[in-house]
Each structure stands twice: as structure tokens, then as C-alpha cells.
Amino acid sequence: MIRTPEDTYVYDRVISTIFNEDRFAKMQGQHDSSKKSTGNIDNSELLDTIVEVAKEVFKRHCAKRFQISPLHTLEWNFTKNRGNTVKILTQGGEMLELCYELRTPFVMSIASNQTSSFKRYEISWVHRRAVGHSTPYRFLQGDFDIIGGTSPIPEAEIIKVALDLGTRFYDSKTLVIRLNHGKLAEAICSWAGVSQDQRQNVAEFLSSTIVQYWPNEADRKSQWSLIRGQLLQDLRLSEEVVEKLHKADQRFCGSADLVLARLRGTLFYDESACKALDDLSALLRCLRVWSVEQPITTIDVLMPPSECYYTNLFFQVYSKEGNHGPGFHEKLLAVGGRYDWLVEQAWDETSKSKPPGAVGVSIALEKFLPNNPSSDLGLRRLLSRVEPSISVLVCSRGGGGLLTERMELVAELWKANIMAQFVPQEDPSLQEQYEYASEHDIKCLAIMTESGLSQTDLVKVRHLDFKKEKDVEREGLIKFLSDAMCSQYKNPTIWS
């Protein structure tokens, strides 16, 4: 028994027993003998290439790396992952945690520094507890986040980032997006009659059963005959509630435009739900500017968020492989959404500034490994050059913000391997765009005006440091920027 704080005899004996090296050696021998029959193909080179491709895509969208420590001391956490983290006890008795996810530490830094606008990426291993005495699992994850901006423009960009990366490894026709909104999910529960205290259990149950299957697919429809009894008996839902949940799956999960029309007709009385539907409609309009069209976009009102902090728009990106036969399966590649709530929780209440909005996507990079380990799918050829030191801000002057035109031009620059971005607001003033360029250390602006595009099809290119500018034809803008970048904009002949 420890009688005084200075009496550490028992404590030292416990620690020395836990860290007994003879016991470790014996356990290691048993572990080695149990795994002799198993082999593991080394995918290190393939993963290196995938990481380089991911960095290239992230940097093209002008994100900067924010490094997350793989190991940190046990601290208070306002997310619900505490029980699933991998904990380590040091010989000195200190409790540590392996990195569980890459977002919360970033948000804590954003809050402590009162940052209002930022694009970041991080690529690192995250860890999960294993069952029994097995070693923890680890997964290679890439995160891309946008702090600031006006919804749903940042949401559209993080989806674009996920698709840009996905299309480097998969046929674009196999990539599909599943959308939902926190307020819409709540409205559907209210419409179906699911009580507040039952909603979490119902969401978790549906997530582990029917939501694993694609909306309107035969496999998903067949699940209802199996889970109906569990909803009635295990979760004690009424027949009426179960029937309404079934109806929601049939009518409100599927093609985005069709589902939106049905939801507006059903939830017209719910102001919060109508606002959520407006958010989804606006997001779809932004995605169409970037050629993200039907049928790859669906709405699934029964899909819960992958993290508790996604309380508004959230999404999942899948690769649908096979031809709906025995080998058909869906591979979850990325999850993301808006997490304003998380930033608000971390923000200093005494601060005079309001917490900014925030969106992010987490991408499972190991999912891009080829199914056949003996083939690398020519991954090395996926790498292309991105000039890391030069980026372009696509701006507008007048014309109501020219959001569509700015989005179209920035997409063309991304496709040409040029680092580019735009202020993620519908109608920012020219002063706001200059301030954005200064804050993000951007020296080159491509300024569009309504008259310039409609009458002369010209874009003004301006370099802030050199105080040079030139009107360039819209069709020749990429060539002009590429040539200018080769000389770091210093060649005087390019401005003549």
C-alpha cells in the first residue's frame, strides 16, 4: 500500500512488471512463431508514388502542409473517439496516444492562432485499436481542409480535390458521390417519428446494415426483409416508424435531382430542412460547373456522418467496380464535410473575432493500391510537374462576382498543372481579393471582368511585386502563364 506520495515502491514494482524484458522476449517468440506462415507483400514503393500524386493534387489547389505529430500526450478531446484511440504507457508512467485522426489537432492550432483563412493538407498514418492482444491497425490517410469561405463553394472544392485524386487511379465513370446534410437527416427522423433518444442507435444500426449498399440497388432493397424485425424488436420502434424509414429509403435515396424534388414536396413545412435542401442544390450547381454531373451524385438521407463533427453538408466518395455481378463491390475512398461545430468548440470564447467556417476531406490512400499486387498500374507515370513556388489567384471585378467564370478558369489551370485558387465567396470585392492574395502570399492575379469576357474575351494578368500587367486572350492564358512561370515572370518581353 502506498502510504505517502514519496512511497513509490508499489508503483515502481507495477511498472517494472509491466515492462519486464524477459516476459516481452517470451511473448515476442510466441508472436513470431504464429506469423511464420503468413506473408505480407511490401507495397512501399507503390505507396510512395501514391503519396507523391496526392501531394501534387493538394499543392495544385494551393494547400500548405500542416504536420501532425504521430504521438502526443493524453489530452482532453471534444470528439467521441477517446475509447477507440491507441494508448501507450511509458516506463515513466505517462500515458500517450497514437494519432487517431488528423483534423482535431489542426483545428486546435487554427483556434489558438485565430486563423480565418487557410488551406492545408497532411498525409500521415492513423491508428486504430485491434481486437484482443493484436497489434494496432494503421492506415495511410490524406487530409485536405479549407478554412474560411462561403458555403457551399469550399465543399465543392474539397469534393473536386477527392475526385481529382481519384481519377488519377480509377476511371472517372466508376467514381460516385453520396451526399447528405445534418439538418436533413434530423428532419427525416422527425418525419418518420424517431424519438430524440433513439436517433443515435437507429443511425448506427442503419449505417451497419442498409447504408453499406448503394441506394436503389437490389442488395439494399433485400436487406429490409432482414432488418425490419431487428428495428421492431431490438430497437423497439413502432410499425409506423419502421414503415416510414423504409419509405424514406425508397423515395429519398437516389439520384440527387429527383430526390431533391421529392424532399421539397414532403418537407416544405420544415424551415431547417428547406435550408438544407437549398444548401444541397447550391452544392450541386457548383459541382456542375466543374463537370461533376449525374449520375455520379446521389443523396442518401439515411447515411449518417462519418464523424460527429460533420453537422451540415457531408459526403462519401466511392469507386464502384465490377458489373453488378458476383465480383461487384463498392470501395469507400473518401469522407468529408463541413465541421464548423468543431471549430466553434475549440475557439476562444473571449475572442472578438468569430470562428471561421471549415470543411475537410479525409482520403484513404491505401485504397488506391492496385488489386493485383504484382502490377503497379504504371503509377510512376501518374506523376506530373507542379511548380511549387508560383500560384495564381483568379479574380473578378464587377459582374456579380462571376463565380461560374472564376470556377471554370481555375479548373482549367488545375488541369494544366498550374497552382491556382480563387476567393471562395460568391461576390468578393476586388479589395477583398487583394487582401486574400496578400494573406496567402500570392503575387500573380488573373482578373476577369464581365465586359472583358463578353466583348474582347480578355483577362488581365497582374504581377503585384513587379507591378506589371497585360491583357491576355482567354484562350491563350494558360500558354502565357506557363511561359511567364518559366522565367519567374522576370522576362520583360512577356509583358510587352
* Residue stretches of the annotated binding site for L-histidine: 128, 141, 145, 309-310
Q: How many CA atoms lie within 13 A of 206 on its CB side?
A: 26
Q: Is 113 helix (H, G, I), strand (E, B) or coil?
A: coil
Please list the helix, strand and coil fractions of the chain in percent, rounded to the nearest 5, in that order.
Answer: 45, 20, 35
> Beta strand pairing status for 175-181 and 118-128?
unpaired
Rg for the chain, CA atoms, rounded: 26
Q: Which residue has the cell 501532425?
A: 68
Cβ proximity of 121 and 143 under 8 Å = yes
- Of 276, 367, 286, the closest CA to residue 314 belongs to 276
- Which residues touch 130 (CB under 8 Å, ≥6 apart)? 136, 137
Distances (CA, A) of 376 to 124, 164, 368: 22, 19, 10
List the binding residues.
Answer: 128, 141, 145, 309-310
Distances (CA, A) of 492 to 145, 313, 391: 37, 47, 19
Cβ proximity of 309 and 79 under 8 Å = yes
